[in-house]
Amino acid sequence: MLGIETSCDETSAALLVGERSRPELASLVILSQDVHRVFGGVVPELASRAHLAALPAVVERALVEAGVGWHAVDAVAVTAGPGLVGALLVGVVYAKALAYAGDRALIGVNHLEGHLFAPLVEDPQLEPPFVALLVSGGHTLLLDVPAWGRYRLLGATRDDAAGEAFDKVATLLGLGYPGGPEIERLAATGDPTRFTFPRPMRDAGFEFSFSGLKTAVLHAVRGSDDLERDRPHLARAFQDAVLDVLVTKLERAIQATGYRIALLGGGVACSRALAELAARRLAGCARVAVASPRLNADNAAMIARAGWYRLALGERSDWTLDARADLPLPGLEPATLPDLTPHP
Amino acid sequence: MSGVWLAIDTATDIASVAAGRAPAPEAGAHVQGARRHAAEIIRLVDFTLGRLGLAPRDLEGIVVGDGPGSFTGLRIGWAAAKGLAQEAGLDLVAIPSLMAAAAGAAVKLGQAPVAAWFDALRGQVYAAVYVFHADRVETVLAPAVMTPDEFADLATLRPQVVAGDGAARYADAARRWSGAPPVAPDALAPAATMLLSLLGREGTARAIDDLTTAEPVYGRPAEAQARWEARHGRSLPDPTRPSR
């Protein structure tokens, strides 16, 4: 199975090989488009151009590293959404051409479902039920996963995604893009008691909101008489606030479901601080399943793994597969609404 | 080898595919509507090759419309062409999409200068002027982006006609410049058909020697890139290349 991922600013290809139920990762190539750093965020048109230029070489390298030729590829899985539509289109059309030319099965994969399958690449024993916290620059979702392919949305962000908040606060602090790694690096030297930021919506429900927290950081930055001195402490306080909110909601979801596994996925799950805090707070209740950083960032291995699952169910995409910026998670069941109270 | 080439063009609102032994198309199909290109491009290829009973590996090579034109449209055609060529080990060449449009209008005009204008938005057109000979194509004005009036001022040869969606949009300017009514896209043969007809003529094709880095001629940089370069007074370092 060849996986292809181009939903944002990583051009990635991966090969999974093996028996039907136990695929193994044979290769994973990820090219990060560093050009976006100068803009402080991803420029969709530049990302799309870079994907088109880079894809053939990335796929070729994935084949070489896996030690297989085209004849060994039976199927192609590609991210069909959600993501930047121009970037997605390049991957989708290129993948369709590869599948068509070799008479291979084609499967379009939801990027978020890919993140759910990422830990499975390294931990084949992983099985639902679990609670999943998907946190990236584009999404913040808390999901109840009773079985593979069945997802119940517990909560999502009302405004900024957690990764987006990291990027924006990094800009406020004069740090580079992407913001998460920069803030985590700086926060490691920060004093957690120097600043305290609010924990928005921490104590209620499963939804998230980070825009107010970002504003609080803005006020603190403006109020600082020595930003050079305060920068690590501000980074630490911000990171502590975000992680506290994320992990508190994760804990609450574990308590509500009674599940014994909490899965972390998405680019923000590359944060060691998040994984460590979750493991500490959930100790004795649930184990934390988290993939290694290269499988938490946007990558094609997770797309191939989710595609492998979908193909095993007998699903196929046809040649009219298209990209969708807002592709909904397949198998997403509506949240259970509370009963209405009728007036007497 | 069958000697059959596959042609793909997606630079405009019409996505077209044709196949045949150049210069004669033997099968082809097209769809109209830019939002349909990604969904339909491989179906168009499948339909076209199916009519000839061929698979991609039976082809001699692929000729793709080189732009300039719609950024997204170009990428869809090129992603398809690169994927097919890479997997099936085919030659890939590119011919300007403007040349294909002008060739469509030149069919009845003989060796007279013909211009093509594609709508580039912001009051501009992607434009070029060509003269078509039996064995070669002379590029009088190479593809460039500017306003219709700027283009008319720049061109030393007055064309017999202006073809393309830019000519239809700026019909008055096209008529003023050429003295003839513009030729709208739906009056032209599908671009892929014209790409095949141009294949083999001198001065038409750009050979793609390195599939792994090749890109279409977009006609202008990304807007964010242009703004950044204007602000900093230097080029964005290799903007379309990943750095690692």
CA distance B239 to chain A (A): 6
Domain boundaries, chain B: 5-97+189-225, 106-187
Q: What is the pLDDT of residue B244?
A: 41
* pLDDT tens digits along B99-127: 999 999 998 888 999 999 999 999 999 99
**Mutation site, B49, B87, B220, interface A, largest A CB count within 10 A:** B87
A209 phi/psi in degrees, rounded to 5: -155, 125
Q: What is the pLDDT of residue B243?
A: 44
Beta carbons within 8 Å of A30's beta carbon, 6+ residues apart: A10, A11, A12, A294, A297, A298, A299, A300
Q: What is the pLDDT of residue B240?
A: 55
- Quick check: do B5-97+189-225 and B106-187 share a fold? yes
Contact yes or no for A50 and B240 at CB 8 A: yes
* Residue A290, helix vs strand vs coil: strand
Q: What is the pLDDT of residue A178?
A: 86
Contact yes or no for B244 and A34 at CB 8 A: yes
CA distance A38 to chain B (A): 9
Instruction: Name A2's bridge partners.
Output: A15, A76
Q: Kindly report the CA angle at B126 between B122 and B132, in degrees rounded to 5?
A: 160
Q: What is the pLDDT of residue A223?
A: 95
Q: What is the pLDDT of residue A90?
A: 98
> Which residue, among A114, A85, A234, has the nearest Cα to A166 in the 3D structure?
A234
Return the residue of A nearest to B46 by Cα.
A100
- Mean pLDDT to the nearest integer, B27-50: 96
**Mutation site, B44, B58, B71, B86, interface A, largest A CB count within 10 A:** B86
Segment 57-96 of chain A within 8 Å of chain B by CB: 57, 59-60, 70, 86, 89-96
Looking at domain B106-187, its CATH architecture is 2-Layer Sandwich (3.30)
Ordered structural domains, chain A, with CATH: 2-119+296-333 (3.30.420.40), 126-290 (3.30.420.40)
pLDDT in tens, chain A (344 residues): 999 999 999 999 999 999 777 899 999 999 988 888 888 888 999 999 999 999 999 999 999 999 999 999 999 999 999 999 999 999 999 999 999 999 999 999 999 999 999 999 999 999 999 999 999 988 999 999 999 999 999 999 999 999 999 999 999 999 988 889 999 999 999 999 999 999 999 988 999 999 999 999 999 999 999 999 999 999 999 999 999 999 999 999 999 999 999 999 999 999 999 999 999 999 999 999 999 999 999 999 999 999 999 999 999 999 999 999 999 999 888 666 556 777 87
If you ran DSSP here, which 8-state letter would residue A201 be given? T
pLDDT exceeds cutoff 70 at B241: no
CA distance B166 to chain A (A): 22
- CATH class, range B5-97+189-225: alpha beta
Q: Is A98 in contact with A114 (CB distance < 8 Å)?
A: no
Return the residue of A nearest to B220 by Cα.
A45
Query: How many other C-beta atoms can be found within 10 angstroms of the C-beta atom of residue A182?
Result: 19
